[in-house]
Structure 1
Amino acid sequence: MVKPRNGLSERHKRILQFIESYRQQNGYAPSIREIGDAIGVGSTSLVNYYLDQLEHLKYIQRNRSISRAIRVLRPLPESNGRRGNVLQTLREDFLAFPLIGRIAAGVPLPAVPQEITEDYEMVHVATSDFPARVRRENVYALEVQGDSMIDALIYDQDIVLVEYAQDANKGDMVAVWFDDTNETTLKYYEPEYDRYGRLRSVTLRPANPTMQPIKVENRPLRIQGKVVMVIRKYRQ
């Protein structure tokens, strides 16, 4: 195992803070997946790697034969006096977006809900990772189905964050809805205009050399948004 070169990283500190606060509020330690959710890491193997480092540095003690058996041996000095606020601080460091459906499924993509309710599963993203230029209130999440965008490093079951929009520029990656067939797709948007500047056709181009582009002429097509971020879904 590799020891952190310069002591604890910010992620190590966040893990320690979360474990302490969770134990204080619940009376037992969080699960590996709960730790990952709190720090924005989807891979349980990576969470285990950080915990192994903390154990090596004698910040925690673990009993791998018992679930949730993690004990903090050396609390962080800066956490003294404010442990009760750590969970709230972690929540404030993340943004939540509603997962409203799957792209390429046979259900229309609704506009971004005016109010986020418990009806939607939420996707959490670290505030520091989210593009500053994007208006957060206009963003929703979709789960990708299929392999049409693999050369853009978007794979089946990944999550895309989409900024709601009805227009797009050439080269934008867009979520598109076909009114006539009730189908959705995620593709690069390539409009073609006549010499008078009128839209003549649209090519929806995949990022997969084994798939053909979709040429759209005289067919009702609605742009539902532009992709602003991709969240990789780790598989084990």
Structure 2
Amino acid sequence: MYQNKKILAIIPARGGSKGIPKKNILEIEGIPLIAYTLQESQKSKYLDRTIISTEDLEIKKVVEQYGGEVPFLRPIELAQDTSKTIDCIVHAVDSLKKMGEEYDYVVILQCTSPLRKAWHIDEAIETLLQSEEASLVSVSEVEEHPILMRTLNEDGTLQNLLNVSSTVRRQDFPSFYRVNGAIAIQKIDENFGMSTSINDGKLAYVMEKKYAIDIDTFLDIYTVEFYLKGNSENNI
């Protein structure tokens, strides 16, 4: 709880990962991927409850071994390749409401961001609840600057993505940020529902890139392992 507001965390974790099979329970340095996020959520000062939304019994078993809660299974129709994250979030919030539990805010923690820490979660909560906004997303500064990006026309010519001259010195480039997926927070009010866009949160919580690695490929896994193995050197 923070500022007398009840705060729920949901970790979405469906079983049907295509790129990396069973990605959410893949062991990295001896710990299942999902456990990194679960353990940090358990350290948060402000989260009243953390639950995992999954349709997968194997994920449920792993989660429970690490003290996590799966109070109900996600319906299969909300765990398809075409399913949106917000669908399972709304399902979880509504299911808890039917069980007599209501919350003021929901924090969405993707388990593919294993280096995000409890203090990131708490800082993000403080940032949003001290503002007048109803939503927040975590962002990181981009490495590949959009000033140097182009689209390719049908005739083979290039089109600048931004209407800015690429002759600008790199050190003078404006800062650009990407939504990194590590943290999203939504106020649960009359505007919260299936049409809510998690990635379009109004307020930003800026994270260092090394904490915001999103595991999508095996290269991402190797990068995370690098940071975990030398965590004292690399300040993770």
Establish whether TM, by shorter chain, passes 0.5: no
Between Structure 1 and Structure 2, the one with more strand by share is: 1
TM superposition score category, shorter chain reference: under 0.3
TM-score, length of structure 2 as denominator length: 0.25
Specify which structure has the higher proportion of helix. Answer: 2
Highest CA radius of gyration, 1 or 2? 1
Report which structure shows greater RCO (CA 8 Å, sep ≥6): 2
Normalised by the size of structure 1, how large is the TM-score?
A: 0.25
